[in-house]
Amino acid sequence: MTVSYSNKSVNAPSFFEQYFIKPITEGTGYNMVNTAAYGVLLVIASYFIYKLLKKTGYELNLRFLKATIPFVLLVGVWRSLTDAGIYPYGFLTTTPGLYIPVLALFFPLVILAKKLEDFKGWRYEWVYSGVSLALLASQVVILGILIPGRLDTSALMLSLFYTLASCLPVIVLSRYWQPLKNKFNQYMIISHFFESSVTHVSLEYFNYFEQHVIPRTIFNLFGTSLSFYLWKAVVLGLVIYFLDKDKEHEELSNFVKMIFIIYGLTIGVRNLLRLILGV
């Protein structure tokens, strides 16, 4: 199908293949087109997830965030096992298609967990976190089979060093600076500094390729991936500033911060595991 606009022809299949299919099949990374499209999809999906959680009766607070962490870790491990060749590389095992099976598991799980709390008195963590932890344990067993022969301890130690070096000041500062006393704000920065640390080690020490277009642009501009920390601090600082100004919609603000935390943690876990497995 060819669509004409102002005497210019655009071949729709070729456009879709160039900007959406080839980056997956050829591993060339993200571009401005698919980054913008996936960003819009993320906003739309987040809106429906927020509405579902509120309709189901969840309070979007630290309790829910902590209950969600095992599920987030599960997604990160799933993605890394695809990189390691354990799961077939395809649309449903890579971004954004991966989120179809992820949400297909997430929606029934959170609904069931809340219903059991409402009608049986079970804390929803028992089901939500419990099932997530059980599935995570099964993936860790697979990792345990892979790691003994493939573990790169230097990659692990370097990642831990940069994570601690970047996150400890945040933890110390949280004792004195009011915005960081908010746990959501603190966890948001820590999760992204963790992700930035793994990315820095991957690029600077192990010759990995930055797939995401904005970090790749920043890296090329400054010539070092240490600039990611500054970029993250500025962006997250602005997010915190504007969200914390809105005192009337605290749960919505918490949910937006949760999305940032989940993104940073998921990508960080995936990248760390693929780094130490050498894939």
- pLDDT at 94 > cutoff 70: yes
Predicted TM-score of the model (pTM):
0.88
Same domain, 168 and 241: yes
- Please indicate whether residue 92 or residue 235 has the higher confidence score (pLDDT): 235
Express each pLDDT in 21-47 by its tens digit.
766 666 666 777 777 888 888 889 899
Structural contact between residues 92 and 100, judged by C-beta atoms closer than 8 angstroms: yes
Which residue type sits at 101? Answer: P
Which residue type sits at 151? Answer: L
Q: How many domains does the chain have?
A: 2
Strand-pair category, 2-5 with 8-11: antiparallel
Express each pLDDT in 165-211 by its tens digit.
999 999 999 999 999 999 999 999 999 999 999 999 999 998 887 77
Which residue type sits at 130? Answer: G
Same domain, 202 and 161: yes
Q: Examine the fold and report which residue of 86, 119, 150 is the final residue of a domain before the chain moves on.
A: 150
Domain residues for the domain of 64 are 38-150
Helix (H, G, I), strand (E, B) or coil at 8: strand
Whether the link from the prior residue into 96 is cis, omega within 30° of 0, is yes
Q: Examine the fold and report which residue of 105, 127, 150 is the final residue of a domain before the chain moves on.
A: 150
Q: Examine the fold and report which residue of 129, 150, 171 is the final residue of a domain before the chain moves on.
A: 150
